[in-house]
Amino acid sequence: MGSSHFVRIIQFFILLQFLDSCLSLPLCTDSRAPFSPNSTLQFCPYNGTVCCNANDDLLLKNQFAAMNISDPACASLVKSILCSRCDQFSAELFRIDSAPRQVPVLCNSTVSPNSTQSNQASLNFCSKAWNTCQNVSIIHSPFAVSLQGRAGAPTASNSTKLDDLWQSQADFCSALGGASDDGLPCFDGAPVVLNDTGAAPTPPTGLCLEKIGNGTYLNMVPHPDGSNRTFFSNQQGKIWLATIPSQGSGGVLELDEAAPFLDITDEVHFDTEFGLMGIAFHPKFTENGRFFASFNCDRAKWPECAGRCACNSDVKCDPSKLTPDNGANPCQFQSVIAEFSANGTASQPSLAKNANPSEVRRIFTMGLPFTSHHAGQILFGPEDGYLYFMMGDGGGAGGDPFNFAQNKKSLLGKIMRLDVDTITSAKEASRLGLWGNYSIPKDNPYTQDLELQKEIWALGLRNPWRCSFDSARPSYFACADVGQDHFEEVDLITKGGNYGWSVYEGPSKFKSSAANTSQILPVTGYNHSDVNTNEGSASITGGYFYRATTDPCMQGRYLFADLYAGTIWAGTESPANSGKFTSSKIPFSCARDSPLSCTGTPGSLLPALSYIFSFGEDNDKDVYLLTQSGVYRVVRPSRCNYTCANEGSSDAASPSPASPQPAGAGVLRAPFGVLGVIISFLCMALVNFV
């Protein structure tokens, strides 16, 4: 075993000291994100971002009335427990990853205090519930059915008083109580409020970059074998397999432009907003050799390009009435996802240096009404293995003139989620109205919202440009959505989430005449007035939550940029686990010992980034910028004379801010390969302890 392996093992044990929380972002019991209701709740005292709408509020009111509780103090307490389903952390309070609960986990002072909550006054809430309602009759008591069949469960479920249902307060609180040894919140009679340490953590002094390649690429995907190899693709239609030099080695990107891994330039239509838009390698690529490309094609030049038009009678759109856009006919251009294979080109897929250029299967084809806003990124979910497909609103003057993004029957302005491992028969696909060869995951949100098209995972996007899952917390699925006139936004995407476009642009109303909708607000972003560009406008480029150990002062922050301005931003979550971010521009410089020169002007160390097209991440979680002028990598701050107190110390592995794992997270892809799985397992054990 080499010295580098010993270093990683040491880093692993250091990191174990900082597993202080396993809390995920705010989430409702139906796995959806909290939202701002159209009207104020009348019964439950929850305001702002909640998990209940007016109908839910009325149902809870009726449930409470049916209990016929005569004691005012007990009635008030039971009401607060019922209404906790409206809490933005209700998924955690009700521990939706375990057995169904009728009441939330009640704060119990017999267990260590819940450090994730700022209100410490009611940590004995479980005891308070017992003492207040012990001898009070509660018809259809929620305490009578909670955790049936478990140790300490009620012995007389048809009774109405706690004294009859439970043998003692100890049994009651043993079954229904809990606190924060597992890093999760408990209910103390009031909405969950996380610890706020005051001002947001001080932004890093700067981001140090080195230039390792001169090529212009749109996508970067690490090799699924976990090595130091990555795939790069350009917009014209080529994919290359490259080798990444080690940090600090002084090496450059090893990529042979003359020997692409795949060349489909004859199929790809390339233009300003057209081309090879995304690549994704199957999670089991090393076994099955399967990978996927998302690109645009021109049906006037390639017969195999033809597909159904996104403007159709199902969405009350007549393509014959669309005005030709930039000289193109409506739906002349298509968005395509095609499957390819590396099988047969080497003894095993991980050794393949090129792929078969012929499509194995056409997964998806859809005609585009206009020539802009069709995004096109694809990626596999790290937990579920399904393929996520980002699609813009289709463009058109006036800001989504056909309201595609809010139309639940349209796939424009959506994030789709497809099962590419199970292919629906042609007959069944036709019956379901599918757009190609895939099937629908059974837990897609159409099962909860019957109006939704089955492929849809989230809606209300304008042009999602670069999305990523946080490798330490897969429940954090961040997408940058390009704005129209004023605001560029970053959204945390959740199941069935509506992000507002085109009723809203960011936090503000965009169409004054449009009816309000339940919008999930962006977690961060910036106004167009915050950037200066030669283009006269702004366009956000999404990035990654930084999880490498190279720059410990950037740990846990979300990096993103503006395409035109060459400005880099860092979003910092504060308080931790709240889903609330503050953002700041981050100064950046080029390392004096950069392998390739990246000076903007003579004597300057400011990189001449030009357009920032995309970000990338390798198997060590180091972050890259893919720009018009080349490929840049984030390196140690000291190489640019930036100060980071943790660099080079044992604290370097400490996440700052905290980088907790989510409840019910499954196997996570952490920075230390197999060791990361062990970390994930430990976190899961803590989560499932209660």
Whether 443 and 539 share a structural domain? no
| pLDDT above 90 (res 367) | yes
**CA 286/CA 338 separation, integer angstroms:** 19
Is a pLDDT exceeding 70 seen at residue 366? yes
Residue 421, CB-side half-sphere exposure with 13 Å CA sphere: 12
Query: Residues 437, 480: one domain?
Result: no
448 Cβ neighbours under 8 A, 6+ residues apart: 30, 32, 496
- Res. 136: pLDDT tops 90: yes
According to the model, what pLDDT value does residue 432 have?
93
pLDDT over threshold 60, residue 279: yes
User: What is the spatial distance between Cα 330 and Cα 327, in angstroms, rounded to a whole number?
Assistant: 10
CB 192 within 8 A of CB 34: no
Whether residue 243 lies inside any domain: the answer is yes
Task: Considering only residues 358 and 682, tell me which one the structure prediction assigns the higher pLDDT.
Answer: 358
In a domain, 563, yes or no: yes
pLDDT at 365: 98
Residues 123 and 248 in one domain: no
Q: What is the reported pTM?
A: 0.82
Nearest-10 crossing angle of helices 125-133, 169-176: 130
What is the torsional sign of CA 364, 369, 370, 375? negative
Query: In this structure, is residue 123 part of a structural domain?
Result: yes
pLDDT at 45 > cutoff 70? yes
Alpha carbons 421 and 415: distance in angstroms, whole number: 19
Give CA–CA dist 641/62, Å, rounded: 64
What are the pLDDT digits (tens) for 374-398? Answer: 999 999 999 999 999 999 999 988 8
Contact by Cβ (8 Å): 13, 7: no
Q: What are phi and psi of 398, to 5 degrees?
A: 95, 5
Is the pLDDT at 676 greater than 90, yes or no? no
Determine how β-strand 508-509 pairs with β-strand 504-505.
antiparallel
Q: How far is CA 594 from CA 137, 211, 385, 550, 641, in A?
A: 74, 6, 37, 15, 13
Q: Which residue has the tokens 């939202």?
A: 35
Q: What is the pLDDT of residue 461?
A: 98
Q: What percent of the chain has pLDDT over 70?
A: 83
Which residue's entry shows tokens 């200066």? 532
> Which residue do the tokens 């390969």 mark?
673
Contacts for 212 with CB less than 8 Å, ≥ 6 apart? 244, 245, 251, 252, 253, 595, 596, 630, 631, 632, 633
The amino acid occupying position 367 is: G
Under 8 Å between Cβ of 321 and 313:
no
Beta bridge partners of 50: 35
668: nearest Cα among 281, 284, 383: 383
Cβ neighbors of 7 (< 8 A, separation 6 or more) are none
Quickly list H helices, 177-302. 285-288
The strand pair at 487-492 and 504-505 is best described as unpaired
Are residues 52 and 27 part of one domain? yes
Last residue of a domain, one of 443, 462, 481: 462
Q: Give the pLDDT band (50/70/90) at residue 96.
A: confident
577 and 435 in a common domain: no
pLDDT for 254 beyond 70: yes
Whether omega for the bond prior to residue 245 falls within 30 degrees of 0, making it cis, is no
pLDDT score recorded for residue 175: 87
Q: Work out the pLDDT band at 576, boundaries 50, 70, 90.
A: confident
672 falls within a domain: no
Tell me the C-alpha distance between 637 and 448, whole Å: 47
Distance CA 664, CA 666 (A): 6
Whether 539 has a pLDDT exceeding 60, the answer reads yes
Is residue 526 included in any domain, yes or no? yes
pLDDT at 216 over 60: yes
- Tell me the two tokens of residue 662: 């989510």
User: Nearest to residue 333, comparing CAs of 303, 368, 365, 302?
Assistant: 368
Mean pLDDT of 134-159: 66
Segment 461-473, tens digit of pLDDT: 999 999 999 999 9
Give the span between the Cα atoms of 169 and 174, in whole angstroms: 8
Domain assignment present for 662? no
Residue from 169, 183, 189 nearest 110 by CA: 169
Do 409 and 365 belong to one domain?
A: yes
pLDDT at 281 over 50: yes
Range of the structural domain that residue 628 is part of: 202-218+233-258+464-649
Separation in Å, CA 107 to CA 91, 127, 192: 16, 9, 11
Q: Which residue has the tokens 């995920």?
A: 24
**417 domain-assigned:** yes
4 in a domain, yes or no? no
CA distances from 16 to 116, 408, 500 (A): 19, 44, 40
- Please compute the mean of the pLDDT values over residues 54-60 and round it to a whole number: 95
Is residue 587 predicted with pLDDT exceeding 80? yes
Across 532-537, average pLDDT? 76
Mean pLDDT (whole number) for 363-382? 97
User: Residue 649's pLDDT band (boundaries 50, 70, 90)?
Assistant: low
Given a contact cutoff of 8 angstroms between Cβ atoms, the answer to whether 539 and 564 are in contact is yes
Residue scoring higher pLDDT (199 or 210): 210
Q: Of the residues 649, 667, 682, which one is the last residue of a structural domain?
A: 649
Whole-number Å distance between alpha carbons of 278 and 468: 13
CB atoms within 10 A of CB 606: 14
Residue 92's pLDDT is 87
The answer to whether 82 touches 140, Cβ cutoff 8 Å, is no
3-state helix, strand, coil in the chain (%, to 5): 20, 25, 55
Closest Cα partner for 494 from 382, 415, 385, 383?
415
- Point out the domain boundary residue: 431, 462, 493: 462
Rounded to whole angstroms, how far apart are CA atoms 193 and 163? 32
- Residues 619 and 641 both lie in one domain: yes
Nearest to 290 by CA among 338, 240, 353: 338
Q: Is the CB of residue 555 less than 8 Å from the CB of residue 655?
A: yes
Q: What is the mean pLDDT of residues 541-546?
A: 98
Mean pLDDT of the chain: 85
In this predicted structure, the answer to whether residue 181 has a pLDDT above a threshold of 80 is: no
At 71, list the tokens: 């004691």
User: Are residue 481 and residue 516 in the same domain, yes or no?
Assistant: yes
Mean pLDDT throughout 12-16? 37
Query: Does one domain contain both 207 and 271?
Result: no
435 shares a domain with 508:
no
d(Cα 366, Cα 336) in Å, to the nearest integer?
7
Largest Cα–Cα separation, the chain: 84
What's the CATH number where 268 sits? 2.120.10.30
Same domain flag for 521 and 609? yes
Residues 471 and 368 placed together within one structural domain of the fold: no
The total domain count for the chain is 3
What string of DSSP letters covers 125-172? HHHHHHHHHTT---TT-GGGTTTTTSTT--S-TT--SHHHH-S-HHHH
